[in-house]
Amino acid sequence: MKPLNISYNSYRSCKRVNSYKSYNTEVTEVETIETIYPYSPIYMKLFALFTFLTYFTFFPYLPYSFAGEDKPESARNEIAVSVNGENISEAEVQIAINRLIPASSFHGAVTAEKREQYRKPAVDSLIEKELLYQEGKRLGISVKKSEVKEVFNKNKEAFKKKKDFYEALEKQGLTEESYRKLIEKELVTREFLKQAVEDKIKLSETGLEDYYNKNKGKFVSPDKIRLREMSVSVSPTATQGEREEKKKQAEDLLKKVKAGEDFAELAYKYSEDNYRVKAGDLGLSHKGRLMPELEEAASRLNVGEVSGLIETIYGYHIIRLEEKQPEKQLAFAEVKDSLKKELEAKRYKEAKEAIVKALKEKAVISIK
């Protein structure tokens, strides 16, 4: 089944609120990229139902059993957390745990002990979401029943048979009503974050350019080289005789290059590494990205020159220096788009954290 790309444009029509209290959402400059809505593929159809409840994204499905579904219904219906008198069920906690467990784990058994390691971050995320939802409701944000119905139906349509959809809900300790409530909560929470954070952290081009001018040193492209390589692999367990045979094979290739045969063609025919399919082209790399032995040999070459035999723990290599690019200052136009994403993502993260912190300070939270 193809991944589901479900539109949430309808939530833009949520009731808007024009006034917000101050959450002390001061933000600082950014040096790393933060992803607002991260994505990690989960190979199970049940996540098409539940993963959006955390990150608004749907995922493909393969029919594996869903971790945590073996808990008795009574246990899944138990109250796990209370936030300002609003209860979060054990079923919701298990869904959140499932989201945190690496996708590869679902191809095998996940022990109860391992699942327990994910419980605290799962509970923390649910508390955060509940606080944001409650604040959104307090400020008057609401969604139409038709919006909830649209999301609900699109999830249901992801299943070939209607009964499979309801069985999936039941396995997670959810009813149609409780699932609709989760959808409503998610849409309200997202609209609140849009109004309270997203709409307020946008940067103008003037602001971006000002940041660029004050931090030009961060926007320098380092020296780069482009190598073409061919290699003869040697097993770590090779005998001395086997190693000598491999060395002779590499020396024969070097002779062919020195005799004028085409380096790229030789690399494509005889090289024993993954870059063979690219005729040995390693692409542009800056210092520290290649094996030290290759970088050291390349530093002695002019463009177009071929190295001698280079020995590494992987075998024998021959390189040709294809291109050199000196360090250069990147222009504002070259970095503007990526800089905008970085700065706004950082500002989003900090502003959201400030809101959650303020809400937690006055909340009554009980973890059962």
Q: Are residues 238 and 358 part of one domain?
A: no
Rg (CA), the chain: 28
- Specify the pLDDT at position 60: 27
227 and 130 in a common domain? no
Say whether both 25 and 124 belong to one domain: yes
CA-to-CA dists, residue 140 to 135, 147, 262, 298, 344, angstroms:
9, 17, 71, 64, 26
In a domain, 323, yes or no: yes
**Burial zone of 87 (CB within 10 Å; 0-12 exposed, 13-18 middle, 19+ buried):** middle
**Partner residues linked to 306 by β-bridges:** 320
Asked whether residue 68 falls in the same domain as residue 178, the answer is yes
Residue 334 lies in a domain: no
Q: Are residues 91 and 192 in the same domain?
A: yes
Nearest to 310 by CA among 328, 325, 290, 327: 290
Structure-token pair, residue 183: 């959808």
The verdict on residue 217 lying in a domain is no
* Co-location of 183 and 46 in the same domain: yes
105 within a domain of the structure (yes/no): yes
Residue 25: both structure tokens together:
């959402």
- Judge if 13 and 128 occupy the same domain: yes
Q: How many residues does the chain have?
A: 368
Query: Rounded to 5 degrees, what are φ and ψ at 7?
Result: -80, 140
User: pLDDT 10s per residue in the chain (368 long)?
Assistant: 333 333 333 333 344 444 344 455 444 433 322 222 232 232 234 434 444 333 333 322 223 334 455 555 556 678 999 999 999 998 889 888 888 887 656 545 678 888 899 999 999 999 999 999 999 999 999 999 999 999 999 999 989 899 999 998 888 778 899 899 999 999 999 999 999 999 999 999 999 999 999 999 999 999 999 999 999 999 989 999 999 999 999 999 999 999 999 999 999 999 999 999 999 999 999 888 999 999 999 999 999 999 999 999 999 999 999 999 999 999 999 999 999 999 999 999 999 999 999 999 999 999 98
Domain boundaries, position 243: 222-328
Beta carbons of 151 and 122 less than 8 angstroms apart: no
Cβ–Cβ under 8 Å, residues 368 and 80: yes
Query: CATH number of the domain that 262 lies in?
Result: 3.10.50.40
- On whether both 151 and 123 belong to a single domain, the answer is yes
Q: How many domains does the chain have?
A: 2
Task: Mark whether 107 and 186 lie in a shared domain.
Answer: yes
Question: Rounded to two decimals, what is the model's pTM?
Answer: 0.64
> Is 80 a member of any domain?
yes
Structure tokens belonging to residue 95: 């869904």
Residues 88 and 227 in one domain: no
DSSP string, 207-229: HHHHHHHHTGGGSEEPPEEEEEE
